[in-house]
Amino acid sequence: MGIINGLEAWHGGSRADGKVGVVNVMGFTARQEQGGCCSGRREGNGNLRYSGLGHGNGGMSMDVEIRGIKKAYFRKKVLTDISFSMEAGSCAAILGSNGSGKSTLLSILAGVRKADGGSFFYRGTDLFRCPGQIPKALGYVPQGDPLMEELNAWDNLRMWYDRETLKRELSEGALKLLGIDDFLKTPVRRMSGGMKKRLSIGCAVVSHPGILLLDEPSAALDPVCKENICMYLDAYRKEGGIVLMATHDAQDLELCDACYILRNGTLHSWEYGGDFHKLAEAL
Amino acid sequence: MAAYFLAQLKRAARIFPGQILVDLAVCVCVGALAFALIAQGADAAAGTRYRIGMVGDLEDSYLGFGIAAVQEMDDSRFMIELVPMSEQEAETAFLRGELYAVVRVPEDLLESIVYGENDRPITYTATQGQKGLGTMVMGEITNIASTLVTCSQSAIYAMQRTLADQGRGEEIGRETDKLNLALINLVLSRGAFGEVEVLGYGDGLSLELYYFCGMILLFLLFSGLLNSALFVHGNGAFSCFLKARGVGAVWQIFGEYLAYLLLVITGLLVLCLPLGFGLARELLGIPEWEGMGAAPFLSFLPILIPVTVMLAALQFFLFEAADGIVNGILLQLLSGIGMGYLSGCFYPSAFFPEKMRAFGEMLPSGAAVRFMQAGALGRIPAELWAAVFGWTAVFFILTILVRQSRIGRS
């Protein structure tokens, strides 16, 4: 089941010919094509393409190679020899029970914490050795919303975007796709969980990163909000972006090409197959 | 970092109007309370005298004259009230706590003195609870009086013997009176023996200026409570996000601290407006600044900046170290009260035991109040500058360490 099928399920469906349709779920118009592609603009050759998704490397190969990441808190080993790789345009999920180390792994990759060992290559550069490159290379959305509650969406975004770029992104870029323009003047404290999550992603993609790390992006969100975010992520990866998320959500898993289960500090490849009950057994 | 600082400033600006109202309300309440307490204290001080009951043989005219002289002529009349009464009345009043002490004059006391026998001692009775400065002073006075009496007796008897030996017996009466008058003059003019200089509290400050500094310190200590809204909703996710975006713990702390400091300074300036007005109108009655309007206060204001920087860093650290906003507020409250007390904001620290006073001076609040007091007198020694900046640096380092640890744990 593709992402668009999910959309139709929630919105009753609007695709007339089974190939191209238009849905409006986040305050912006997104086109959909066979296979679940979402787009904001049709190109001259008839292909659909998202404009200004952020990473700006549409079609470019962006490989991630993670090797031997280790982390221990005192004597307790949280991560043991974590290794996997991802290709440009791919999406992977890391599953695991609470406390298994998913958030730790993502925060290590985001440069928030230091690993005890290992490497994180992105397009040939070991980001652990060049931590200054991390903010440019990846966007990180932690589990809590990294927003200032007293400020509105505009003010939160202005922390990261200069005025002109922000206006441009809101009118035709990733922020438009996220539908942030609809609640630009709303204080964060009055926002719904979905709005906050979209705004958080909007803040994270300021540097047009090639990798997006999300820690439980759908947690505590209603199905429509989840769908909005999935749409954006789908578009993001179709532009060549790499998405790595920690999640428990079946809807998120539908977006992913690969799933890994983190258990006892080690990563195991796992086939989802659409059966969520299998996940509970696997964990 | 600049963008983060500006965002924090926006947060502070959103919070500011509400905080100013709270600041003003607190200032009005504290000011009214302080005014009432000072007025009450002044009235009580003006009306309080030690009542000492005089019992026994008070019939002698010389003794009566002496008591009347003390009550009417001597400066001690403002502090001591001598009340002649019967033994029974004195005992009842003493047991009720209406008398500070009872002085019992034995029969024929003056005869005993006149004849040089000195075998009828005066008894001074006080309770165990009053075994303090008053009792000690009374003991000293008794010793002095006793010495004066015996010495003057010796002088008079020696003079009388000398005159008798020289065959000048007719002059004895006149010379004795002259010598007695000379001795009385000597006793009554004892104020010229030495000069008493009242330095006041805290290295020479008047009580009013001492408490003025103390009140400003208390306001600064509690400004963390007033501005706690700035720390509400702070979450670990935001710190992690900032770190991932390349804004490390050091710059996070600086950005947040600067906004907080501006909020505290603005609150302080709001407090200073009524204070400046009161001083300009001579309503506050600070002796050191009397008749000078608000000018000394305006030159005192810059002295508050380093102190505010240090105490804001302390509050920032406390909020950072506490787990949650409620714990942070409780920590602010307890530390504010504790440090305010130990540093002499509620009672002059001169009343405290030596070790306690030394401990209070070592605390950040102690350094702050000494800095302000020294600044009010126009001389701030280098060690106080070092203490204020040293504490500020310590709080910054601790806050950064806590933030780093928090980022690592969240």
How far apart (Å, rounded) are the C-alpha atoms in residues A193 and B152? Answer: 97
Residue A239: closest CA among A162, A165, A173: A173
A234's CB contacts (< 8 A; 6+ apart) are A3, A36, A37, A38, A255
Mutate to test the interface with B, among A159, A201, A203, A214 (most CBs of B within 10 A): A159
B78's CB contacts (< 8 A; 6+ apart) are B49
Question: Measured between beta carbons, which residues in chain B are less than 8 angstroms from residue A112?
Answer: 240, 243-244, 407
Relative to beta strand A37-39, strand A29-33 is: antiparallel
Minimal CA separation from B238 to chain A, in Å: 4
pLDDT < 50 positions in chain A: 1-62
Please, what sign has the CA dihedral across residues B395, B400, B405, B409?
A: positive
Closest to B246 (Cβ–Cβ): which among A135, A158, A159? A135
Name the B residues in 209-238 with CB < 8 Å from any A CB.
232-233, 235-238
User: Tokens standing for B398?
Assistant: 């601790």
Residue B133, pLDDT score: 63
Residue B14 touches chain A, beta carbons under 8 Å: yes
User: Tokens standing for B115?
Assistant: 């004849």
B226's CB contacts (< 8 A; 6+ apart) are B19, B22, B23, B26, B267
Interface of A with B (CB under 8 A): 107, 110-113, 132, 134-135, 138, 140-151, 155-156, 158-160, 189, 200, 203-204, 206
Count CA atoms closer than 13 A to B167's CA, side-chain side: 0
What pLDDT band is residue B189 in, cutting at 50, 70 and 90?
low
What pLDDT band is residue B278 in, cutting at 50, 70 and 90?
confident
Tell me how many degrees the CA angle B281-B282-B287 measures, rounded to the nearest 5.
Answer: 160
With b for 16 or more beta-carbon neighbours within 10 A and e for fewer, the B4-37 pattern comes to bbebbbbbbebbbeebeeebeebbeeebeeeeee
Three-state DSSP at A254 gives: helix
Residue, of B218 and B151, whose pLDDT is higher: B218
Residue B2 touches chain A, beta carbons under 8 Å: no
How far apart (Å, rounded) are the C-alpha atoms in residues A53 and A210? Answer: 10
A135/B233 Cβ within 8 A: no
Residue A2, pLDDT score: 32
**Interface size between A and B, measured as CB pairs under 8 A:** 76
Closest to A159 (Cβ–Cβ): which among B3, B232, B244? B3
Mutate to test the interface with A, among B230, B242, B245, B263 (most CBs of A within 10 A): B245
In chain A, which residue's Cα lies nearest the Cα of B407?
A112
Helix, strand, coil shares of chain A, percent, nearest 5, are: 35, 25, 40
Closest to A112 (Cβ–Cβ): which among B6, B11, B244? B244
In chain B, which residue's Cα lies nearest the Cα of A156?
B7
Strand ranges inside chain A, DSSP E: 21-24, 29-33, 37-39, 41-42, 48-49, 64-73, 76-86, 91-95, 117-122, 125-126, 138-141, 211-215, 242-246, 258-263, 266-270
In chain B, which residue's Cα lies nearest the Cα of A201?
B241
Question: Measured between beta carbons, which residues in chain A are less than 8 angstroms from residue B10?
Answer: 150-151, 155
Three-state DSSP at A156 gives: helix
User: Tokens standing for A142?
Assistant: 């932690």
With b for 16 or more beta-carbon neighbours within 10 A and e for fewer, the B192-229 pattern comes to eeeeeeeebbbeebbebbbbbbbbbbbbbbbbbbbbbb
Question: Measured between beta carbons, which residues in chain A are less than 8 angstroms from residue B6?
Answer: 158-159
B407/A151 Cβ within 8 A: no
Residue A239: closest CA among A43, A21, A19, A11: A43
B236/A110 Cβ within 8 A: no
The DSSP bridge partners found for residue A141 are A214
How far apart (Å, rounded) are the C-alpha atoms in residues B372 and B384? Answer: 10
Q: For residue B53, give the H/E element and its range.
A: strand B50-56
Closest to B235 (Cβ–Cβ): which among A107, A140, A144? A144
Determine contact, residues B241/A204, Cβ cutoff 8 Å: yes
Residue A119, pLDDT score: 93
B194-242 tens-digit pLDDT: 555 555 555 667 777 888 888 888 888 888 777 777 776 556 888 899 9
B241/A203 Cβ within 8 A: yes
Which of A194-208, B14-28, B165-179, B237-251 is predicted least confidently?
B14-28
Minimal CA separation from A43 to chain B, in Å: 33
B25-36 tens-digit pLDDT: 777 776 676 666
Three-state DSSP at A85 gives: strand
pTM for the model stands at: 0.68
Determine contact, residues A103/A73, Cβ cutoff 8 Å: no
Minimal CA separation from B229 to chain A, in Å: 10
Three-state DSSP at A136 gives: helix
The DSSP bridge partners found for residue B51 are B81
pLDDT cut 70: percent of chain B above it: 83
Residue, of A179 and B183, whose pLDDT is higher: A179
- Average pLDDT, integer, range B66-70: 73
Torsions phi, psi for B113 (to 5 deg):
-70, -45
B407/A113 Cβ within 8 A: yes
A144/B238 Cβ within 8 A: yes
CB atoms closer than 10 angstroms to residue A148: 22
CB atoms closer than 10 angstroms to residue B122: 13
In chain B, which residue's Cα lies nearest the Cα of A213?
B244
Minimal CA separation from A235 to chain B, in Å: 23
Question: Measured between beta carbons, which residues in chain A are less than 8 angstroms from residue B245?
Answer: 135, 140, 160, 206
Residue B250: closest CA among B410, B406, B408, B404: B404
Query: Is it the case that residue B146 has pLDDT exceeding 50?
Result: yes
Torsions phi, psi for A68 (to 5 deg):
55, 40
Question: Measured between beta carbons, which residues in chain B are less than 8 angstroms from residue A204?
Answer: 241
Query: Is it the case that residue B261 has pLDDT exceeding 70?
Result: yes
How far apart (Å, rounded) are the C-alpha atoms in residues A49 and A238? Answer: 9
Residue A15: closest CA among A25, A5, A3: A5
Write the burial class of residue B361 (CB in 10 Å: 0-12 exposed, 13-18 middle, 19+ buried). Answer: middle
How far apart (Å, rounded) are the C-alpha atoms in residues B391 and B363? Answer: 9
A149/B241 Cβ within 8 A: no
Torsions phi, psi for B286 (to 5 deg):
-90, 115
Residue B103, pLDDT score: 85
- Please give the ipTM for the structure prediction: 0.76
How far apart (Å, rounded) are the C-alpha atoms in residues B147 and B134? Answer: 20
Closest to B244 (Cβ–Cβ): which among A135, A147, A150? A135
Q: CA-based Rg of chain B, rounded to a whole angstrom? A: 32
B83's CB contacts (< 8 A; 6+ apart) are B51, B52, B53, B54, B99
Question: Measured between beta carbons, which residues in chain B are less than 8 angstroms from residue A203?
Answer: 241
Distance (Å) of CA B395 to CA B3, B134, B227, B360, B363: 24, 45, 18, 18, 13
pLDDT cut 90: percent of chain B above it: 12
How far apart (Å, rounded) are the C-alpha atoms in residues A173 and A152? Answer: 19
Query: Is it the case that residue B50 has pLDDT exceeding 60?
Result: yes
Question: Measured between beta carbons, which residues in chain B are less than 8 angstroms from residue A111?
Answer: 243-244
A143/B238 Cβ within 8 A: no
Compute the mean pLDDT over every residue in chain B, rounded to the nearest whole number.
80
**Amino acid identity at B258:** L
Residue A154, pLDDT score: 93
